[in-house]
Amino acid sequence: MMKHAWDSYRQYGWGHNELKPLARKGHSTNIFGNSQMGATIVDALDTLFMMGLHDEFRDGQAWIEQNLDFSVNAEVSVFEVNIRFIGGLLAAYYLSGQEVFKAKAVQLAEKLLPAFNTPTGIPWAMVNLKSGVGRNWGWASAGSSILAEFGTLHMEFVHLTYLTGNPAYYQKVMHIRKLLAKMERPNGLYPNYLNPRTGRWGQHHTSVGGLGDSFYEYLLKAWLMSDKTDTEARKTYDDAVEAIERHLIRKSNSGLTFIGEWKNGHLERKMGHLTCFAGGMFALGADGSPGDKAGHYLQLGAEIAHTCHESYDRTVLKLGPEAFKFDSGLEAVAVRQNEKYYILRPEVIETYWYMWRFTHDPKYRQWGWEATQAIDRYCRVSGGFSGVKDVYSSNPTYDDVQQSFFLAETLKYLYLLFSSDDLLPLDSWVFNTEAHPLPVL
């Protein structure tokens, strides 16, 4: 599947950010501005390396050496460029030892730094790589920056300081942490929106899915990546998870554990595909949790994995919808037409893999195999892999996008799920939120 995804991109989309597998041409979205920065190449490198696809890896490296240029007049997402490009380049560097990847990661990081020039030091969501001018998404509450965006820079920026000796990167992310620590949190929860001019929260929405997710993930991973010396990060994670459990995690009528969304004092009983990563996060954080709650968090991870598997199993295609409800007799199914799509996302498979590593319960490989077969059957087209618009339809239409995270994450986690534990052991490597492995420092 990786060969098919890569070869198709190589043939029809080479150098573009992503691929349109039906139209057989390049694709891009606003997160990359109007750039052509080969996002799929950078995102896929470490997966190719791990799978032993060395010719393909060298091909990607040659493109990066000759073509990857960040002096472009493009307004890109700071978060997306950090997790996909800086994370991807750093992982490729650590795995292969090729200096070019480190050099490109540092060049790009320099271009992101102007995004931090705000009254509070909370970065803008977007920055123009050429002019350094930043701004926020028009749709975000009252000009706010997004928790999961400015809160998902820590791992990569700490590595940049470690590799270059330049303290600026470390200082920028530690400043964000200090500012957040001083702020009052409604019910102990972190709202998704924070205004970078005033330093005040926007709307009081909290989510472990989109807009919030990887902020929590990076607190835990900061601690793991520091060889468990960054106890401040661990404590912040533990406190956040305690509030999440109290206010957001519930059981459905039939006993499925789900994580809802908090909206202005009200719990919405809806869970996103993105939220499903949290099963793996709870399992990863079990060891080291306060009191004797390790068993509890491993169990919570298992319950989330089970719920997310149900969201796949209750569809026609055996692929999970973008969001599913637990309301008015509904259990783990999508209601709205615009929540029925599957766009090759990794989160459910990511959780299966973490649960497999921590329990070796064969059901996780079984579930991963079910997902593999479904993706290969319903998302494979002759020009690559495509998302589908309705997982409840036996005759689904395609969205015609091969997302770069399909190669970076979905296929990598599947490969890891069926590999032995000594491939990237979790006591030596920590995966960034785009599944790029970085070593414990």
Number of other residues whose CB lies within 10 A of the CB of residue 294: 15
Q: With respect to ligand DMJ, which residue has the nearer C-beta, 88 or 191? A: 88
Cβ closer to ligand DMJ: 40 or 214?
214
| Of 252 and 319, CB closest to ligand DMJ | 319
Phi/psi at 338 (5° precision): -80, 10
Cβ 434 to ligand DMJ, closest distance in Å?
Answer: 5
Catalytic residue among 43, 56, 331, 347: 347
Residue nearer to ligand DMJ on the CB measure, 211 or 248 = 211
Report the residue number, 399 or 434, with the smaller CB distance to ligand DMJ.
434
Cβ proximity to ligand DMJ: between 230 and 409 the closer is: 409
Min dist CB 328 to ligand DMJ, Å, is: 28
Q: Give the Cα separation of 79 and 88 in Å (integer).
A: 13
87: CB partners within 8 A, 6+ apart: 155, 156, 432, 433, 434, 436, 438
Q: Tell me how crowded residue 213 is: count the other CB atoms within 10 A of its CB.
A: 25
Q: Tell me how far apart the alpha carbons of residues 99 and 135 are, in angstroms, rounded to a whole number.
A: 32
- 370 carries an active-site annotation: no
- Judging by beta carbons within 10 Å of its beta carbon (0-12, 13-18, 19+), is residue 179 exposed, middle or buried? middle
Q: 87-96 and 54-67 are packed helices; what angle lies between their axes, rounded to 10 degrees?
A: 120
Q: Minimum Å distance from CB 324 to ligand DMJ?
A: 15
Query: CB of 406: closest distance to ligand DMJ in angstroms?
Result: 9
**Contacts for 9 with CB less than 8 Å, ≥ 6 apart:** 18, 19, 40, 44, 384, 402, 407
CA separation (Å) from 294 to 175, 216, 256, 301, 426?
Answer: 31, 18, 21, 11, 17
Contact between residue 109 and residue 161 where contact means Cβ atoms under 8 Å apart: no
- What is the per-residue DSSP string for 150-173? HTS-HHHHHHHHHHH--THHHHHH
- Which of 46, 80, 261, 434 is catalytic? The answer is 80
Active-site choice (18, 213, 350, 390): 213
C-alpha–C-alpha distance, residues 328 and 306, integer Å: 21
Residue 433, marked binder: yes
- CA geometry: angle 165, 121, 31, nearest 5 deg: 85
Least Å from the CB of residue 88 to ligand DMJ: 11
The answer to whether 213 is a known catalytic residue is yes
Residues that bind ligand DMJ (CB under 6 A): 214, 274, 345-346, 405, 409, 433-434
Instruction: Give dist(CA 127, CA 115) in Å, integer.
Output: 6
Taking CB atoms, the residue at the shortest distance from ligand DMJ is: 433
CB of 214 to ligand DMJ, least distance (A): 5
Task: Name the minimum Å distance from CB 341 to ligand DMJ.
Answer: 12
For residues 364 and 372, give the distance between their C-alpha atoms in angstroms, rounded to a whole number: 12
Q: Which is nearer to ligand DMJ, 331 or 334 (CB)?
A: 334
CA atoms within 13 A on the CB side of 209: 24
Whether 245 is catalytic is: no
Give helix 87-96 / helix 154-164 axis angle, nearest 10°: 50
What are the beta bridge partners of residue 402? Answer: 19
Please give the backbone phi and psi of residue 19, each rounded to the nearest 5 degrees, phi first: -120, 140
The minimum distance between CB 322 and ligand DMJ, in angstroms, equals: 10
Judged by beta carbon, residue 75 or residue 80, the one nearer ligand DMJ is 80
Half-sphere exposure of residue 317: CA atoms within 13 angstroms, side-chain side: 28
Q: Which residues are catalytic?
A: 80, 213, 322, 347
- Which segments are annotated as binding site? 433
- Which segments are annotated as binding site for Ca(2+)? 433
